[in-house]
Amino acid sequence: MNSFFHYQENSLFCEEKSIEEIATKVGTPFYIYSYSYIIQNIQQLKKAFSRYNPLICYSLKANPNITLCRIIASYGLGADIVSGGELYQALKAGFPSEKIVYSGVGKTPDEIKYALEKNILFFNVESEQELQEIKKIAEKLNKRAKVSIRINPDIDANTHHYITTGKKENKFGIPFPQAEKIYKEASKIPGIDTVGIHMHIGSQIKNVEPYLEALQRLKIFIDKLTRKGINLSYLDIGGGFGINYREKEEKFPIEELSEKIAPLVPPGMRLIIEPGRYIVGNAGALITKLIYKKSGKRKEFLIVDAGMNDLIRPSLYGAYHRIIPVKKSLKKYGKKVDIVGPICESTDFFAQNRQFPAIESGELIAILDAGAYGVSMSSNYNGRPRVAEVLVKNDNWWLIKQKESYWNLTQGQIVPTDINLYHREIMLPASPSSIEFWKMEGAGNDFILLDNRDEIIKKRAELAQKLCQRKKGIGADGLILIERAKQADFFMRIFNPDGSEAEMCGNGARCAARFAYLKGVAGEECTFQTLAGPIKARIKENKVKIKMSDPFDFKKEVKLRIDTREYTGYFINTGVPHFILFYESVDKVKIKETGFKIRSHKYFHPDGTNVDFVEIKDDGILIRTYERGVEDETLACGTGAVASAIISHLIYNLSPPVKVKMKGGSVNVWFESNEGSRISNVFLEGEANITYKGYLNGGDYV
């Protein structure tokens, strides 16, 4: 164990939070991560390699959870990616595109195009054909592509043969003689900038010698290229730094590596390292529950509710993980056991012939050192939903990924309507004949609300696109679905008219709270989940007051050049991103035209932003909002009202509560302003009214 996972009074804690307490609210199995341990690992890496001013690129394949990635990005790290999906995740998490390095042997044309459009730092090229493909796509886009060549140094990293990547028989990298030819050709290709050299010799490496041997070969090769007039800017030595999976093991000696590679890093070349496991591996654990004990002829089995679909490393690599009871046993060790899961495979085990304390069914077990290659390699095998993820910092904890539901298992699957199904009437259950909906509005922001706790609605995005149309549907600014939540009264999911799912909507949240109250789902005071986090609400007649998430990511005086004009505004995230501009008269602004240009500006890629146009009035502020997803001006926007009120306070010293007037009505915004620009305890209050009620016929979307 480590100081971040430890026993207090015989109960296992992550930092200062009881794992048993979290399990009662989240349910098992689930992954749990220590915030402080992740930061400690980042700081150790920065300190060890500080002499080189390195670019540290976190390897997303280790664990792509957006919250963890945002934390890592906030400490100035870049990202090492191996697919278009990881590029999307990296950008979503906030890694700057100019700090993203794209590795991987099988980059598709679409992925290359996507990366060039996002202006990543460079590609680590794995073959001559890949280089030609990058050249062709860069020419079509009229862009210059920066590349680095990945070398296969033919080094044995002395690790598991499944995760060694630097030997000549591996699929990765290019041998030195072929690489020299490619460097010469690349230097003559218009539109290609050859900026670096790359190696990656394996994962879970425990000593520095393989790196030194490989770097010595690279140094000789770099000197040879320099003599031929090919000068490189980046030396990317990859990652693969091992962690301790056993009690007496040591983590990889990064300080020793940093010291010994000094003569091998050519002057003028910036060092890049790509750690993944080293940052998150020891910081995570998989918490599971003992379901049954089963005695066989030769051994005893402890059957837990996690399986190889949740953590495949022991089955795939024969990997060892420390496993301990969450409630420390005072009994003597029992006989050796196999700790196994419920999957229908004999390889579904976490430990074999392991001596383990005697515990009873229903008790919790922690599989340690599971922060890397746990969630990222998990699957839905045997029809098992992927598990929840939790982050702990000191004595606080957050659910950072909900457990999947059975609905997720069939999401995206399509049964063709014209397929000839035998006994179709038996195989396909009929849709309900009608589904009640309510039309509600808050300050003119209107929504269609449905109770979807029984998951009647299957195709949420498609239904939103159909129903929200003003001419051919019911017409609304969004579709709100009330669904089940383990840690709250309900979960609010909100879909824009274009089918995209929004993280949060203040006016929508007020309507959702009153709808849930009138439907008997929640009381006058309730808590519900959103993609932006938990929300608390208080309902009194037709007025609803909700506690919003604390705003973050405030950026002062952001300057955007659009066409020939420069716009200066303020950025803040109040659950969704908002860009605020101040005008003497907002009535004179071309909201749709200006809002669309700003919403689509590359500064806000990949997700875009809402745009609020604000006018300071004697008794508050007047705002008009261009809303992404709606792609037009809306009569009101709750998160926009909050964002505009807070920015007006920070810039023009408006005191809370701030009265916010919108075309559709008015709301009041409360908050506390602390030192600097820190805002907390944010509340939004306004009316949530029922417009009418109706029924939907069942169909293709349910």
Give, for 114, the enclosing helix (H) or strand (E).
helix 109-117
Q: How far is CA 446 from CA 402, 466, 541, 605, 610, in A?
A: 28, 15, 18, 27, 17
Gyration radius of the chain over CA positions: 28
Tokens of 22: 């979290």
Half-sphere exposure in the Cβ direction for 429 (13 Å, CA): 4
CA distance 143 to 478: 38
CA distance 376 to 273: 21
Tokens of 383: 């029809």
Give, for 440, the enclosing helix (H) or strand (E).
strand 434-442
Say if CB 603 and CB 410 are below 8 A apart: no
Pairing of strands 234-236, 192-198: parallel
Pairing of strands 478-483, 445-451: parallel
| Angle between the N-to-C axes of helices 128-141 and 176-186, in degrees from 0 to 180, rounded to the nearest 10 | 20
Tokens of 51: 């002499």
Say if CB 74 and CB 295 are below 8 A apart: no
Q: How far is CA 529 from CA 212, 402, 533, 536, in A?
A: 50, 10, 6, 9
Tokens of 491: 């979960």
**From 14, 57, 69, 344, active-site residue:** 344
| Region label for 446, one of left (φ > 0), alpha (ψ between -120 and 50) or beta (otherwise) | beta
User: Which amino acid is it at 698?
Assistant: G
- The residues with which 205 forms a beta bridge, in sequence order, are 241
- What are the phi and psi torsion angles at 668 (to 5°)? -115, 140
Annotated catalytic, 344? Answer: yes
Q: Give the three-state DSSP class for 541.
A: coil
As annotated, the active-site residues are: 344
